[in-house]
Structure 1
Amino acid sequence: MTKRRISYGICAVWLLFTFWFLVANRAVTEASSTMTLPEAAASEGFNASIESSPFAFAPQESSPDKPVEQVRKNIQVLKGMPDSQLLPVMHIMRTSLGVRCDYCHVAENNKYWMDDKPAKQTARRMLQMVMEINRANFGGRPVVSCNTCHRGQTEPVSIPAIGQGAFANTTRDDSSAKPPAELPSVDQLIEKYIQALGGRAAIERIKTRYTKLSLQRPKLVNSGTPRAAIINRGETWTMEIYRKAPDRYLAVITSPDGVIQQGFNGATGWIKTSEGQREMNAVEIARIKREADLYSDLKIKERYSKMNVARRERVNDREAFVVVAQRSADGKTEKLYFDLQSGLLLRRTVFTQTVLGLDPEQTDYEDYRSADGVKIPFTVRVSYLDDNHYGTTRNIAEVRNNVPVDDTKFNPPTAQR
């Protein structure tokens, strides 16, 4: 098994199935091996989004996030921006205009710094304009972005379309219009969600869980050539996960290059690959304990310092209540979409701040099925602005609750002599 595959595999365990393809990004985008991993999501229920960071096999201290101009060539407008934000900012710009990277860049490996294309100079002027608007009007906060005007087009639409503001009475509001329906409280939505899953008692009866699933993840093809590319969800890995209350955990990942294991026995966390075996550090153990929690759906409010029901929106063909929440741990904003009728969680969006606005990560929960009286989303789809490089889909093949699992299963394997 190559070291690159091992690194990806360990990341996959932490993210429960969302990957940041560092090498692939170097082949086809401006990515850097120092980029911070996206938020990631794909566990069951409310464990579906845990913080993540790249892990090599040997534990390493995180390197400081240097200003981008100290890491990249030919940075002119974005000086002072953390290097970790470069790729998310590039994809905010790209998706705002509805274009590919080569619209502005020479899209060959290590040539993104070149200024051959006029569109790149235009983009720099537009960045300066946007930053000045935000400085002059919003205290420097990135309220206005490329997408404010472009909305997926290379040229903003400045003239309203005929009929865009058509009303029966264009002068004043219709006094007979119905007032908006009253929104439920956060507590009401959370309680309905728990009941929709099967109820508090049914969830608490689960003491162990075995899950077998497949993971569709990005695949790098033609590596090291001018035709290098990423195939969206083009590769499938399999995983078997064992959980035991309160915090025992074992994941066995089978990749094309071999098997990766990680476990936690309540005291010691460990990772094993074909390269060897090591203990987890404190940060890794904290993550795996969150992932092991069978009762996370009962602890939703503990994650947030603020929660409020904002409005109703459609998610695909479903009507949903939108809860806007601020996380206690890092202050990030999340939006939670609860089905108006069933009460189930349909979507969760996490927003990461960049100098050019918010970078969204969207997790969709689909195909809820009952496993011993507790509903689980059997399909979890994680999507990004740069979905080719990050997007994953997890499909559960089998779930068994309260199966006998001996505590020794979670112990580190005996070292081979």
Structure 2
Amino acid sequence: MNLGGSKITAMMRMSRGTIACGAAMVIFITALVSAQARGAGQARGAAPAAAQPAAQRPQMSEEAFKNVTELKGIPVREFMNTMGFFAASLAFNCTDCHGGASASDWANYAIDTPLKNRARTMIRMVKAINEANFGGRPFVTCYTCHRGSQKPKITPSLAVQYGEPPPDDPAEVEALPGSRVTATPDQVLDKYLQAIGGAQAVGRLTSFTAKGNYEGFDSDFAKVPVDIYAKGPNQRAVVAHMASGDSATVYDGREAWIASPKELSPLPVIPLLGADLTGARLDAQLTFPTMIKTLLTGWRADFPAATIDDKPVYVIQGTIDRVPVKLYFDRMSGLLVRQTRYAPTVVGTVPTHVAYSDYREVPGTGVKIPFTWQMTWVDGQYTINLESVQPNAPIDAARFAKPAAR
């Protein structure tokens, strides 16, 4: 899946210590957007923060990292997403801004460089534009002008003007009130449940464990073993066995976190909050989709025609914890092929895509699940391919236990 051009594609094939994922761009630049401006609203399509369970105060960016001079008072995960926003906007990797020394030691991300200082100046400019014209809401962002290039283009391209238009991005399709609705959300979801085995059969699948392989940024795109532990209605743990140690993404039914070895992350445990927590909850509950109709609210289906991989899809949208989510279903098979959701940052909204494919029946259940899924976001990408699934297996509660702080 292309994240914005050949340079982004190339950087994805580099190790976690040298790529432009948010976890690797820890002290990239500091934004001057105040908490008041953040509260003023989000750009079109942005998702407000999701409701949070009662929990201890999250660690803030300035507490976790050094030389955070402006981008203070936001949780670590939002800080990481903000770094990913910069990477996607300029098609940079971390060493472009932090210098080669950052590849060998997380502490070196705190060192100032000319590009980091230039970026701070540009953030001030963007903040001023938004405050003067849009009430502080991030209607203008880095991506507005850069579009995956270090230097924004100021001269029109005749090749673009008279050439073939680029293919539409299905993630950018927007609802058009008054559009002809060819299938209601209920009809699309009913067809989906029937396509994967029927609501009764799906309801009888209450847990499973699975084994397969994982490849992504953090594995240097080498295939490594992965274990999945899923328990209905809403618990899931994905544990990838990296060369440097296990990396786990877990939703325990209430909280979510990413736990990784020090070689892959500047912090051993990063809690997921806001829209990221909602995303983890959604991924866990879509694993057992019996209640999909009530999982999201405010369903709508008034979207124009869209295709994914040249196949027509139904697009429906719902909301969970105030986070908008688009679901894409193959019109012929009825199967879910993509999910797109959004998370706000202080500089703009970041998307997450989850693509589903290779549906197979889980032995002895009559239920089909995707044996391949790929998650793509602004600071990472991974693909999981399942090889075996054990249905209705007992799962130790410890699989969903949060690790102690180290």
Q: Is the pair's TM-score, using the shorter chain for normalization, greater than 0.5? A: yes
Q: Which amino acid aligns with 2:347?
A: L
Alpha-carbon distance in structure 2 between the residues aligned to 1:135 and 1:260: 40
Alpha-carbon distance in structure 2 between the residues aligned to 1:340 and 1:332: 25
Alpha-carbon distance in structure 2 between the residues aligned to 1:251 and 1:166: 47
Alpha-carbon distance in structure 2 between the residues aligned to 1:289 and 1:318: 28
Q: What is the match of residue 88 of structure 1?
A: 81
Alpha-carbon distance in structure 1 between the residues aligned to 2:376 and 2:236: 26
Alpha-carbon distance in structure 1 between the residues aligned to 2:199 and 2:144: 43
Q: What is the match of residue 194 of structure 2?
A: 195
Structure 1 residues 91 and 300, CA gap change in structure 2 (3 angstroms): same
Q: Which amino acid aligns with 1:129?
A: M
User: What is the CA-CA distance between 1:69 and the residue it aligns to?
Assistant: 8.1
User: What is the CA-CA distance between 1:95 and the residue it aligns to?
Assistant: 1.6
List runs of 5+ in structure 1 lacking aligned partners.
1-20, 33-50, 54-60, 168-178, 220-230, 267-282
Structure 1 residues 256 and 355, CA gap change in structure 2 (3 angstroms): closer
Alpha-carbon distance in structure 2 between the residues aligned to 1:30 and 1:237: 27
The TM-score, its normalising length taken from structure 2, stands at: 0.62
Q: What is the match of residue 171 of structure 2?
A: none
Structure 1 residues 289 and 145, CA gap change in structure 2 (3 angstroms): closer
Size of the aligned set, in residue pairs, is 314
Structure 1 residues 373 and 289, CA gap change in structure 2 (3 angstroms): same
Q: Does 1:68 align with 2:62?
A: yes
User: What is the CA-CA distance between 1:134 and the residue it aligns to?
Assistant: 1.9
Structure 1 residues 83 and 255, CA gap change in structure 2 (3 angstroms): closer
User: What is the CA-CA distance between 1:121 and the residue it aligns to?
Assistant: 3.0
Q: What is the match of residue 334 of structure 1?
A: 325
Q: Does 1:361 align with 2:358?
A: no
Q: What is the match of residue 392 of structure 1?
A: 382
Structure 1 residues 113 and 183, CA gap change in structure 2 (3 angstroms): farther
Q: What is the match of residue 98 of structure 2?
A: 105
Q: Which amino acid aligns with 2:109?
A: Y
Q: Which amino acid aligns with 2:349?
A: L
Q: Which has the larger radius of gyration?
A: 1
Q: Deviations over 1:358-385 (max 9, x none)?
A: 1222211011123343221110111222
Q: Is the 8 A contact 1:311 1:321 kept in 2?
A: no
User: What is the CA-CA distance between 1:151 and the residue it aligns to?
Assistant: 1.0
Alpha-carbon distance in structure 2 between the residues aligned to 1:150 and 1:398: 44
Q: Which amino acid aligns with 2:187?
A: Q
Alpha-carbon distance in structure 1 between the residues aligned to 2:131 and 2:360: 49
Which SS does the other structure have where 2:210 is aligned?
A: strand
Q: Does 1:321 align with 2:314?
A: yes
Q: Is the 8 A contact 2:208 2:230 kept in 1?
A: yes
Structure 1 residues 67 and 140, CA gap change in structure 2 (3 angstroms): farther
Q: Which amino acid aligns with 1:340?
A: R
1:197-276 alignment to 2 at 5 Å? 197-206=196-205, 209=208, 211-216=210-215, 218-219=217-218, 231-234=219-222, 236-239=224-227, 241=229
Q: What is the match of residue 146 of structure 1?
A: 142
Alpha-carbon distance in structure 2 between the residues aligned to 1:102 and 1:356: 21
Alpha-carbon distance in structure 1 between the residues aligned to 2:95 and 2:246: 37
Alpha-carbon distance in structure 2 between the residues aligned to 1:163 and 1:195: 47
Q: Is the 8 A contact 2:61 2:68 kept in 1?
A: no
Q: What is the match of residue 10 of structure 1?
A: none
Alpha-carbon distance in structure 1 between the residues aligned to 2:359 and 2:368: 6
User: What is the CA-CA distance between 1:410 and the residue it aligns to?
Assistant: 4.8
Which SS does the other structure have where 1:234 is aligned?
A: coil
Q: Does 1:343 align with 2:337?
A: no
Aligned mate of 2:294, from 283, 302, 308: 302
Q: Deviations over 1:291-326 (max 9, x none)?
A: 887983121132223222233333233332332332
Q: Does 1:115 align with 2:148?
A: no
Q: Is the 8 A contact 1:71 1:83 kept in 2?
A: no
Structure 1 residues 399 and 68, CA gap change in structure 2 (3 angstroms): same
Q: Is the 8 A contact 2:22 2:84 kept in 1?
A: no
Structure 1 residues 31 and 332, CA gap change in structure 2 (3 angstroms): farther
Q: Is the 8 A contact 1:337 1:346 kept in 2?
A: yes
Alpha-carbon distance in structure 2 between the residues aligned to 1:240 and 1:342: 26
Structure 1 residues 386 and 232, CA gap change in structure 2 (3 angstroms): farther
Alpha-carbon distance in structure 2 between the residues aligned to 1:190 and 1:247: 19
The TM-score, its normalising length taken from structure 1, stands at: 0.60
Q: What is the match of residue 370 of structure 1?
A: 361
Which SS does the other structure have where 1:140 is aligned?
A: coil
Alpha-carbon distance in structure 2 between the residues aligned to 1:305 and 1:141: 26
User: What is the CA-CA distance between 1:125 and the residue it aligns to?
Assistant: 2.1
- The higher-RCO structure (CA 8 Å, 6+ apart) is 2
Q: Is the 8 A contact 1:69 1:80 kept in 2?
A: no
